[in-house]
């Protein structure tokens, strides 16, 4: 009984230390777990993979460093996929502090595949007022993005020659840490019939399931697990696959905490009920 009481009142610092150990050790030793690809991620992959040659893929960076561990691995895997297939990624940013993350990933992966800025890909950077932009791109992208992230006019870059509105964008992929993805669906999807794939943090992913089920988005990549599945699909296992072991053990530990917490709760409750019965 004493152990149960101690367990019920365990110092939260001990919980913090245990969770830190459980996350750090798998990241060091990197045990391997089988990763099975789920249907929403498979469809996200297929949507990209089945695009015609030379397709223009608009990628919207709608997250910042807080969601980087979940979304950055997917961005890198996606860019690799695009460059492998000779597609043209067009990067835009809706979360200002996410701009450097997009730039870093684009520069890193483009260098791996020897792709040239302005010919094979472009980075248009951040503009404020995302609803206005989403509607504006439907008419003419130059109204909002007449220059790239460095301030150079986009006319000098051949990749933008034939891109004017959503009709020229084969697929829009939003990487989302908030609700911007829903706005993409409402405006670019519903109004301009733009094909969309969304990648969201694990906590936001349930908010996009109904868009996936209704066909308003063609694929859904949820959290680090989704990113790990995508890495497997493009045959480039990296950070997300490595992070799966840590996530597995952390989830298991939280489940154990819930079970122990409930055992302690019921024992304590029974004890109190008995004590009450004794007084009577």
Partner 1 sequence: MIKGKGIPLAISFLTGTIIIIAFFIPHAPFGSFEEISLRWYSIIAGFTMLLGVDSLLRLHTNKIKRKENHWAYSIVLLFGFLLIVIVGIISTIRYGNAFLTGSGFMYMYDNMIIPLQSTMFSLLAFFIASAAYRAFRARNFDATLLLITAIIVMFGRVPISEMISPKIPIFTEWIMSVPQMAAKRGIIIGIALGAIGVSLRIILGIERSYLS
Query: Which residues contact partner 1 by CB under 8 A?
Result: 10, 12, 15-16, 18-20, 23, 33-36, 38-39, 64-69, 97, 99-100, 103-104, 107, 125, 127-129, 131-133, 135-136, 139, 143-144, 149-151, 191, 202, 206-207, 209-210, 213, 223, 225, 228, 244-245, 247-255, 257-258, 260-262, 265-266
Q: In the numeric block, which tokens belong to residue 31?
A: 């045990």
Q: Which is nearer to partner 1, 87 or 181 (CB)?
A: 181
Q: Which is nearer to partner 1, 87 or 101 (CB)?
A: 101
Q: Which is nearer to partner 1, 25 or 66 (CB)?
A: 66
Q: Measured from the CB of residue 41, what is the shortest distance to partner 1 in angstroms?
A: 11
From 90, 95, 169, select the one nearest 124 (Cα to Cα): 90
Give the nearest distance from C-beta 131 to partner 1 in angstroms.
Answer: 7
179, 94 Cβ separation under 8 angstroms: no
**Would you state the structure tokens that stand for residue 132, as one six-digit string?**
């206005």
CB of 255 to partner 1, least distance (A): 5
Give whichever of 63 and 87 is closer to partner 1, judged by the CB atom: 63
Burial 58-70 (b: 16+ CB within 10 A, else e): bbbbbbbeebbbb
**Whole-number minimum distance, CB 279 to partner 1, in Å?**
23
Nearer to partner 1, 87 or 228 (CB): 228
Nearest distance in Å: CB 222, partner 1? 8
* Phi (first) and psi of residue 117, to 5 degrees: -65, 135
94 neighbors 206 (Cβ within 8 angstroms): no
The DSSP result for 238-260, as a single string, is -HHHHHHHHHHHHHHHHHHHHHH
Query: What is the Cα–Cα distance from 242 to 226, expressed in whole angstroms?
Result: 13
């Amino acid at each position: 009984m004493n152990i149960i009481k101690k367990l019920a009142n365990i110092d939260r610092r001990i919980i913090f230390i245990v969770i830190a150990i459980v996350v750090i050790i798998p990241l060091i030793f990197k045990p391997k777990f089988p990763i099975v690809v789920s249907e929403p991620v498979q469809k996200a992959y297929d949507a990209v993979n089945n695009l015609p040659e030379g397709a223009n893929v608009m990628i919207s960076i709608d997250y910042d460093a807080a969601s980087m561990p979940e979304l950055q691995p997917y961005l890198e895997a996606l860019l690799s996929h695009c460059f492998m297939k000779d597609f043209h990624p067009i990067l835009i940013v809706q979360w200002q502090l996410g701009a450097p993350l997009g730039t870093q990933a684009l520069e890193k992966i483009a260098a791996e595949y020897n792709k040239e800025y302005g010919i094979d890909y472009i980075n248009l950077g951040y503009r404020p007022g995302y609803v206005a932009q989403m509607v504006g791109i439907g008419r003419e992208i130059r109204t909002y993005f007449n220059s790239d992230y460095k301030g150079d006019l986009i006319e000098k870059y051949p990749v933008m020659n034939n891109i004017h509105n959503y009709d020229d964008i084969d697929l829009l992929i939003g990487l989302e840490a908030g609700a911007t993805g829903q706005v993409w669906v409402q405006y670019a999807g519903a109004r301009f019939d733009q094909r969309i794939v969304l990648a969201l943090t694990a906590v936001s992913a349930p908010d996009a399931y109904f868009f996936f089920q209704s066909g308003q988005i063609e694929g859904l990549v949820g959290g680090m697990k989704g990113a790990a599945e995508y890495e497997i699909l493009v045959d480039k296992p990296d950070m997300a696959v490595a992070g799966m072991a840590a996530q597995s053990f952390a989830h298991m530990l939280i489940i154990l905490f819930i079970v122990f917490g409930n055992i302690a709760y019921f024992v304590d409750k029974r004890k109190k009920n008995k004590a009450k019965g004794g007084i009577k």
